[in-house]
C-alpha cells in the first residue's frame, strides 16, 4: 500500500519560488509513475508533471512548463516539485499521486491513471 504526504506549500509573492515535497512510502517507487496535480478552489484537478521511477524520465504538462522541474530521491523516498516565477493563478491545493495499476493507466497526466493520493499542500501566490 502506498502512502503519500505532501509538504512545502505556503504563501509566496508573485515571481517567487517554492519547492514542494512528497514523502512516499510503501511501493511508490515500484509504481508506473509519480505525479503532481493541482486543484484551484472550485475548479477541477489538473496534471502538472509526472516522473517515472527511478527518475531518469519525466513528462511536463503545458500548465506550468518552463517554470517547473520534477525530481525523485529514491534514497530518501521523496519526490519534489520545484516551482519558479509563481503567479497568482498558480494558487491551488497541490497533490502528489502514484500510479500503481497498469489496468487503469491512461497517460501521465490523466487523473484516472493514479490510484494513490496524498492529502495535498496549499500554495497561495499573493502580494
Query: CB neighbours (10 Å) of residue 49?
Result: 24
**pLDDT confidence of residue 56:** 85
Q: Positive or negative CA dihedral for 81, 84, 89, 92?
A: positive
Cell of 60: 511536463
pLDDT digits (tens, 9 = 90+) for 33-75: 999 999 999 999 999 999 999 888 999 999 999 999 999 999 9
Q: Are strands 3-7 and 18-25 parallel, antiparallel or unpaired?
A: antiparallel
**pLDDT confidence of residue 55:** 83
What's the CA angle centered on 61, arms 58 and 66, to 5 degrees? 90
**pLDDT confidence of residue 36:** 98
**pLDDT confidence of residue 117:** 97
Q: Is 58 exposed, middle or buried (0-12, 13-18, 19+ CB in 10 A)?
A: middle
3-class SS of residue 108: coil
**pLDDT confidence of residue 99:** 96
pLDDT digits (tens, 9 = 90+) for 60-113: 999 999 999 999 999 999 999 999 999 999 999 999 999 999 999 999 999 999
Distance, in Å, from the CA atom of 127 to the CA atom of 84, rounded to the nearest integer, reads 16
Amino acid at each position: 500500500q502506498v502512502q503519500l504526504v505532501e509538504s512545502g506549500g505556503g504563501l509566496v509573492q508573485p515571481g517567487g519560488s517554492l519547492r514542494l515535497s512528497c514523502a512516499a512510502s510503501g511501493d511508490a517507487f515500484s509504481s508506473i509513475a509519480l505525479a503532481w496535480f493541482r486543484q484551484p478552489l472550485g475548479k477541477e484537478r489538473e496534471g502538472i508533471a509526472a516522473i517515472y521511477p527511478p527518475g531518469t524520465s519525466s513528462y511536463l504538462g503545458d500548465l506550468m512548463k518552463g517554470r517547473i522541474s520534477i525530481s525523485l530521491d529514491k534514497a530518501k523516498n521523496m519526490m519534489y516539485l520545484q516551482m519558479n516565477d509563481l503567479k497568482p493563478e498558480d494558487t491551488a491545493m497541490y497533490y502528489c499521486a502514484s500510479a500503481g495499476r497498469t489496468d487503469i493507466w491512461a497517460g501521465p497526466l490523466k487523473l484516472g491513471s493514479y490510484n494513490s493520493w496524498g492529502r495535498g499542500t496549499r500554495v497561495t501566490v499573493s502580494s
